[in-house]
């Protein structure tokens, strides 16, 4: 256990009154945590081969983020615009925007994107405008975050991931031990996809346009004639490595009313597993990097 982890766990256990007395120490711990998150030295979740899901949650990281919010006071922030009047924003002073330098080697294309302090973007990440990365998120090298995309709080995104336009990766802060959304290496999230509530998307999986996943979403694997779902409320939904998902539907045959009106409900379908043809269609363009 590091000194930072110990400090955050002790401070998180304090009442609001006790935390107020130790405000200076708590503010220092919150700042140290954001700095460590910015550098990728600590993560809200990290790979763990001993875990059934392959990932371990670092609950203390989310505890530190949460008490950082508790400590914060609403403050004004003014950003200068190139071609219009200044923009005014209001947020907690403990969760400012992150400032990048050219040495970070992250491409932030002009046009209204924002990254909260306490989020890690690896060198060679590209962020198209407008897009947003929230505190606690981790984004691996070579990943593209396209326009109108969201990487939510504490989401873990691997290397060479393509997050297409309007894709949404949900954030998870509470409860502190809950597994955040995890997107492993070489995944493609198509346009208008959504991944929420502790889902894990394994390596090289492909979510076609419009696929939406939550922890309670049943997945129908047409290749292996099986249904995939999480085993309990405390476990994640795991999308297999290389799976190719499309948005589908299934009939609601158990209800007379549904049968009479030919009603169906949305469901994601695994229609194949990744092959050379899929690789060719989803290959990232090196020239853009």
- Select the more confidently predicted residue: 161 or 78: 161
Q: Is residue 168 domain-shared with residue 222, that is, in the same domain?
A: yes
| pLDDT single digits (tens) 153-205 | 999 999 999 999 999 999 988 777 788 999 999 999 999 999 998 899 999 99
SS3 label, residue 244: strand
Q: Is residue 61 domain-shared with residue 119, that is, in the same domain?
A: no
* Cβ neighbours around 135 below 10 Å, total: 26
288 pLDDT band, cuts 50/70/90, is: low
Report how far residue 45's alpha carbon sits from residue 66's, in angstroms, rounded to the nearest whole number. Answer: 16
Structural domain count, the chain = 2
Q: Is residue 43 domain-shared with residue 124, that is, in the same domain?
A: no
Residue pair 123/108 in contact (Cβ under 8 Å)? The answer is no
Q: Is residue 262 domain-shared with residue 141, that is, in the same domain?
A: yes
Strand 107-108: give its sheet, edge to edge: 107-108, 126-127, 144-145, 162-163, 188-189, 206-207, 243-251, 264-273, 219-221, 226-228
Residue 217 domain-assigned?
yes
Q: Is residue 106 domain-shared with residue 235, that is, in the same domain?
A: yes
- Report, as an integer, the average pLDDT of 123-151: 98
| pLDDT single digits (tens) 226-253 | 999 998 888 899 999 999 999 999 999 8
Residue pair 215/232 in contact (Cβ under 8 Å)? The answer is no
Residue 88 domain-assigned?
no
Report how far residue 282's alpha carbon sits from residue 287's, in angstroms, rounded to the nearest whole number. Answer: 15
Total number of residues shown for the chain: 289
Residue 154 domain-assigned?
yes
Residue 215 domain-assigned?
yes
Residue 116 domain-assigned?
yes
Report how far residue 132's alpha carbon sits from residue 234's, in angstroms, rounded to the nearest whole number. Answer: 28
Q: Is residue 14 domain-shared with residue 134, that is, in the same domain?
A: no
Q: Is residue 22 domain-shared with residue 58, that is, in the same domain?
A: yes
Residue 182 domain-assigned?
yes
Q: Distances from the Cα of 177 to the Cαs of 4, 45, 57, 173, in angstroms?
A: 18, 10, 6, 9
Q: Is residue 175 domain-shared with residue 244, that is, in the same domain?
A: yes
Tell me the residue range of the domain where 31 lies. 3-70
| pLDDT single digits (tens) 200-221 | 999 999 999 999 999 999 999 9
Q: Is residue 225 domain-shared with residue 147, that is, in the same domain?
A: yes
Residue bearing tokens 């939550």: 214
Q: Which of 70, 86, 107 is the last residue of a domain?
A: 70
- Report, as an integer, the average pLDDT of 133-139: 98
Q: Which of 70, 87, 106 is the last residue of a domain?
A: 70
Q: Is residue 31 domain-shared with residue 128, that is, in the same domain?
A: no
Residue 219 domain-assigned?
yes
Residue bearing tokens 């060198």: 123
Which CATH number belongs to the domain containing residue 18 in this structure?
1.10.166.10
SS3 label, residue 99: coil
Q: Is the pLDDT of residue 286 over 90?
A: no
Q: Is residue 137 domain-shared with residue 184, that is, in the same domain?
A: yes
The pLDDT score that the predictor gives to residue 38 is 98
The pLDDT score that the predictor gives to residue 32 is 97
Q: Is residue 139 domain-shared with residue 202, that is, in the same domain?
A: yes
Note if the pTM is more than 0.85. Answer: yes
CA-based torsion, 28, 31, 35, 41: positive or negative: positive
| pLDDT single digits (tens) 88-127 | 889 999 999 999 999 999 999 998 899 999 999 999 999 9
Q: Which of 70, 88, 115 is the last residue of a domain?
A: 70
Q: Distances from the Cα of 147 to the Cαs of 109, 110, 220, 237, in angstroms?
A: 10, 11, 30, 27
Residue pair 190/206 in contact (Cβ under 8 Å)? The answer is yes
Residue 14 domain-assigned?
yes
265: which 2 tokens?
A: 């409900």
Tell which residue, 253, 52, 42, has the closest CA to residue 154. Answer: 42
Which CATH number belongs to the domain containing residue 216 in this structure?
2.160.10.10
């Amino acid at each position: 256990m590091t000194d930072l982890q110990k400090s955050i766990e002790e401070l998180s256990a304090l009442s609001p009154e006790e935390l107020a007395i130790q405000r200076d120490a708590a503010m220092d711990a919150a700042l140290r945590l954001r700095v460590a998150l910015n550098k990728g030295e600590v993560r809200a979740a990290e790979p763990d081969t001993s875990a059934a899901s392959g990932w371990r949650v670092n609950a203390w990281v989310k505890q530190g983020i949460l008490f950082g919010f508790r400590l914060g006071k609403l403050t004004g922030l003014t950003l200068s615009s190139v071609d219009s009047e200044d923009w005014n924003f209001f947020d907690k002073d403990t969760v400012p925007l992150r400032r990048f330098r050219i040495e970070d080697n992250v491409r932030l294309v002009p046009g209204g994107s924002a990254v909260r302090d306490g989020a890690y973007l690896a060198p060679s990440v590209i962020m198209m405008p407008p897009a947003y990365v929230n505190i606690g998120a981790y984004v691996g090298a070579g990943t593209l975050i396209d326009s109108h995309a969201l990487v939510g709080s504490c989401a873990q995104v691997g290397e060479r991931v393509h997050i297409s336009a309007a894709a949404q990766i949900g954030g998870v802060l509470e409860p502190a031990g809950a597994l955040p959304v995890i997107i492993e290496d070489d995944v493609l999230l198509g346009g208008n996809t959504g991944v929420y509530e502790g889902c894990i998307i394994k390596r090289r999986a492909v979510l076609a346009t419009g696929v939406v996943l939550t922890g309670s979403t049943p997945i129908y694997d047409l290749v292996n004639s099986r249904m995939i779902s999480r085993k309990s409320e405390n476990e994640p939904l795991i999308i297999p490595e290389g799976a190719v998902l499309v948005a589908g539907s299934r009939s609601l045959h158990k209800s007379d009313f549904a049968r009479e009106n030919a009603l169906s409900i949305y469901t994601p379908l695994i229609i194949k597993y990744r092959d050379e043809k899929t690789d060719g269609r989803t290959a990232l363009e090196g020239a853009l990097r």
